[in-house]
Amino acid sequence: SQQGEEDPQALSIQEGENATMNCSYKTSINNLQWYRQNSGRGLVHLILIRSNEREKHSGRLRVTLDTSKKSSSLLITASRAADTASYFCATDGRYSTLTFGKGTMLLVSP
Amino acid sequence: DTAVSQTPKYLVTQMGNDKSIKCEQNLGHDTMYWYKQDSKKFLKIMFSYNNKELIINETVPNRFSPKSPDKAHLNLHINSLELGDSAVYFCASRKTGEEKLFFGSGTQLSVL
C-alpha cells in the first residue's frame, strides 16, 4: 500500500524562488528520505531524516519532519532551472524496502 | 563506471512475447530491488533480493520471474507480456544496514 503522499502534485516557480513540497505518511517510521528524478532518469537520493530529528540541512535543501502529524517537507532555496525534476518522499517499509509517494513535479523557469 | 546499470534502456514488443531486463551493480551491495513506475509516476516495489535470496514478492503476477545469479546481478524475465505491463522498470540496490537506495536509469517497456 502507498505510504507517502506528496503535495502539491505539480509546482511551477521562477528561478531564485523557494520551492516547498510536502509529504504525508500513514504508519510510524524509522526515517524518511527524499529523492529526485530527472526526466528519463532513475531516482537519486537527496537527504535522509531520522524519526528523532526535526530538521536537517544539506546545501540548498532543508527537510523537516513532524512525526506527530506524520508529515515532512522539503524546501529548496534559491531554485535553479536545473532543479526541474520530480521529487519523491520515501519511508522505510517492511523487510527494509522503501515505499514511495506519488511525487511532486517541480518546474523552475529561467 | 555506472553504479547500477540496466539494459535495455527501451524495449518495445508485442503482446504475448517474452522479454528480459538485466541489471548489474558494481557497488558491492547485497540487496537489490525491482520497482515498477506507472504512467502517473507511481513507484511500486515488485521484488527484493538479499544475497541472491528472494525476500519480497509484492503480489506480482507469476509471469514475472526475477533471477539473481550472484549478488551483483538481478534480472527480470517477463512471460506472455500484456498491455498493462507497459511501464518503466527500475532496478535499485543498497548495502544491508544502510538506508540509501541507488537506482538504475530505468527500462521503458512498451507493449503493443
| Per-residue pLDDT at B24 | 97
8 Å CB contact of A103 and B41: yes
- How far does B2 lie from chain A, in Å, by closest CA? 12
8 Å CB contact of A33 and B103: no
Cell numbers describing residue B68: 539473481
CA distance A65 to A51: 7
Q: Where are the beta strands (DSSP E) in A1-110?
A: 5-7, 10-14, 19-24, 31-37, 43-50, 55-58, 61-66, 71-76, 85-92, 98-100, 104-109
Reported as a pLDDT band with limits 50, 70 and 90, residue A17 is very high
CA distance A90 to A64: 14
Interface check for A100 against chain B (CB to CB < 8 A): the answer is yes
Residue the block writes with cell 527524499: A34
Contact A61, A76 (CB under 8 A): yes
Per-residue pLDDT at A2 exceeds 60? no
Residues of chain B with pLDDT under 70: 1-2
pLDDT tens-digit profile of A57-91? Answer: 999 999 999 999 999 999 999 999 999 999 999 99
- How far does B6 lie from chain A, in Å, by closest CA? 10
| Per-residue pLDDT at B1 | 61
Per-residue pLDDT at A95 exceeds 80? no
Reported as a pLDDT band with limits 50, 70 and 90, residue A94 is confident
| Per-residue pLDDT at B50 | 87
A92, closest residue in chain B (CA to CA): B99
| Per-residue pLDDT at A1 | 42
Beta bridge partners of A62: A57, A75
Residue closest to A31 by CA, chosen among A3, A59, A2, A8: A3
Q: What is the mean pLDDT of chain A?
A: 92
Interface check for B56 against chain A (CB to CB < 8 A): the answer is yes
